[in-house]
Amino acid sequence: MSDTTATFPEDFLWGTATAAYQIEGAAREHGRTPSIWDTFSHTPGKTAGGDTGDVAVDHYHRRTEDVRLMAGLGVGAYRFSVSWPRVQPTGRGPAVQRGLDFYRGLADELLEAGIKPVLTLYHWDLPQELETAGGWPERDTAHRFADYARLVGDALGDRVELWTTLNEPWCSAFLGYAAGVHAPGRTDPVAALRAAHHLNLAHGLAVDALRTALPARAEVSISLNPAVVRPRTDSEADRDAARQVDALATRIFTGPMLDGAYPPDLLDDTARLTDWSFVRDGDLPLISRPLDSIGLNYYTPTVVSAVSGDAVPERADGHGGGARSPWPAADRIAFHQPPGERTAMGWTVDPTGLTELLLRFTADAPDLPLYITENGAAYDDKPEPDGSVHDPDRIAYLHGHIGAVHRAIAEGADVRGYFLWSLLDNFEWAYGYGKRFGAVHVDYTTQRRTPKSSARWYADVIRAGALPPLDI
């Protein structure tokens, strides 16, 4: 760990991030209809303790308090997502004004507090009716998403300058449709590949819809969670396993988005499952519409090896280790827990992966500015008797990773901002409320918010625009 101060560019954007279903609650208010996550979390056995987002951290009713909290921390930007079924119930037809008003009000409060609103259109809460009609494996869902993008663009284009189409489409496609550990809980690898393509198409169509709806100054982006894949050994077989996982995790999105084509090795690797005939003429030019920046979410690296013979491959890929794999056609690949300290998610702490990721995208997309749109860690934070919450592990994690961003900038990466995941403790999907990612602690009984030591530490970093030597 370096002990010299790392200074960031003056206009570097320091932010925090959340997502609608994880924080809002108010699941049935003002015309909101169920999303796939409402259905999934209400299905017995799908989430830890049967937790749901019905109430979450009640942000829908505490928005003003939460904006005040952020203002107190001095954050320059707030990345939030819009709940599709709140603004366009059932995923079709006209918008509900009250739903849009919630986000217009949020953006206004942020702007008044000097905080830049950063809007994500889709953070996994597909309207259930669209899933019932086939969900992301069906092409029509991409067109429904474009209509929704237009509605939101029209309503918030005057207030929001930085737009993200999808958050982590890998999770939507592969955790949702192959592994079944996320909503909608399907376990069909071909459906997952179809979903990935239709998410790509949805992104491209939404970019067009947003360009029509938004003023020219608006920036349009996407948040990906590329895997930083490392072969366990330098053997050819392990390196090939890493190549295969890289194609399934990252290039399945960046290929069509940045280069206008699916990687040939991905098509070969998955050929025994599908001929990809769901990709139609004209799709790829749409998917590769120019972007203004790329958002990257990073938590931990992935270590893989090739498995020979009949051995059952280890599946420590950090995605719940469910019975079904999220990796189509990769059944002879083992996923290993990287060595080192772990967070409460069991994810190994390794900031070097973040520098590596930023430099890879600098090489692959040299003209596109980058943002870290998510980075952070869950720990078992417990309030002290006086109510304060001390989380030195999270401070160390953030210190290491913000340092890794600084290193990447020093090596030439054009990184414009960093968004800490997450502002608040919240509903951590299938893990429920047991995993706390917040810089601000939430007492789930009283909904009381208490900034943890890491929040105060982050506020100091923001104020200084620099990373101080680690002193905890």
Q: How far is the CB of 446 from ligand IFM (least distance, A)?
A: 23
Determine which helix (DSSP H) or strand (DSSP E) holds 81, and give its type and residue range. strand 77-81
CA neighbor of 165 nearest in space, from 295, 46, 332: 295
Lay out the site mask for ligand IFM across 109-148 (x = CB under 6 A, - = otherwise). Answer: ----------------------------------------
Peptide bond before residue 184 is cis, with ω within 30 degrees of 0: yes
Backbone angles phi, psi at 78, to 5 degrees: -130, 120
Q: Provide the token pair at 259.
A: 């280069």
Choosing from 88, 254, 297, 343, the residue that interacts with ligand IFM (CB under 6 A) is 297
**Cα dihedral across residues 72, 75, 77, 80: positive or negative:** negative
Q: How far is the CB of 42 from ligand IFM (least distance, A)?
A: 19
Which residues make beta-bridge pairs with 230?
A: 303
- Residue closer to ligand IFM (CB basis): 204 or 438: 438
Choosing from 51, 374, 381, 425, the residue that interacts with ligand IFM (CB under 6 A) is 374
Contacts with ligand IFM by CB under 6 A: the residue count is 8
Distance CA 74, CA 77 (A): 9
- Residue closer to ligand IFM (CB basis): 297 or 355: 297
Q: How far is the CB of 375 from ligand IFM (least distance, A)?
A: 9
Choosing from 371, 421, 433, 458, the residue that interacts with ligand IFM (CB under 6 A) is 421
User: How would DSSP label each residue in 213-237?
Assistant: HS-TT-EEEEEE----EEESSSSHH
Q: Provide the token pair at 310.
A: 């009949």
Going from the C-alpha of 439 to that of each of 6, 298, 391, the distances in angstroms are 21, 17, 9
- Residue closer to ligand IFM (CB basis): 238 or 428: 428
- Residue closer to ligand IFM (CB basis): 128 or 422: 422
Burial class (CB in 10 A: 0-12, 13-18, 19+), 18: buried
Choosing from 19, 149, 201, 455, the residue that interacts with ligand IFM (CB under 6 A) is 19
Of the candidates 24, 138, 374, 428, the residue annotated as catalytic is 374
Contact between 100 and 57 under an 8 Å Cβ cutoff? The reply is no
Q: How far is the CB of 419 from ligand IFM (least distance, A)?
A: 11
- Residue closer to ligand IFM (CB basis): 131 or 374: 374
* Residue 374 annotated among the catalytic residues of the structure: yes
Of the candidates 24, 168, 219, 428, the residue annotated as catalytic is 168
- Rama region for 422: left / alpha / beta (φ>0; ψ in -120 to 50; rest): beta
Residue nearest ligand IFM by beta-carbon distance? 19
Choosing from 51, 109, 131, 168, the residue that interacts with ligand IFM (CB under 6 A) is 168
- Residue closer to ligand IFM (CB basis): 19 or 156: 19
Distance CA 84, CA 91 (A): 7
Contact between 108 and 156 under an 8 Å Cβ cutoff? The reply is no
Contact between 115 and 55 under an 8 Å Cβ cutoff? The reply is no
- Residue closer to ligand IFM (CB basis): 60 or 421: 421
* Residue 168 annotated among the catalytic residues of the structure: yes
Q: How far is the CB of 168 from ligand IFM (least distance, A)?
A: 6
Distance CA 31, CA 84 (A): 12
CA neighbor of 380 nearest in space, from 413, 425, 348: 425
- Residue closer to ligand IFM (CB basis): 8 or 298: 298
Distance CA 234, CA 241 (A): 11
Distance CA 362, CA 258 (A): 12
Q: How far is the CB of 334 from ligand IFM (least distance, A)?
A: 22
Contact between 457 and 53 under an 8 Å Cβ cutoff? The reply is no
Residues within window 20-79 making contact with ligand IFM, judged by CB under 6 A:
22
Lay out the site mask for ligand IFM across 320-359 (x = CB under 6 A, - = otherwise). Answer: ----------------------------------------
Which residues make beta-bridge pairs with 6?
A: 467
Residues binding ligand IFM (CB under 6 A): 19, 22, 168, 297, 374, 421, 428, 437
Catalytically annotated residues: 168, 374
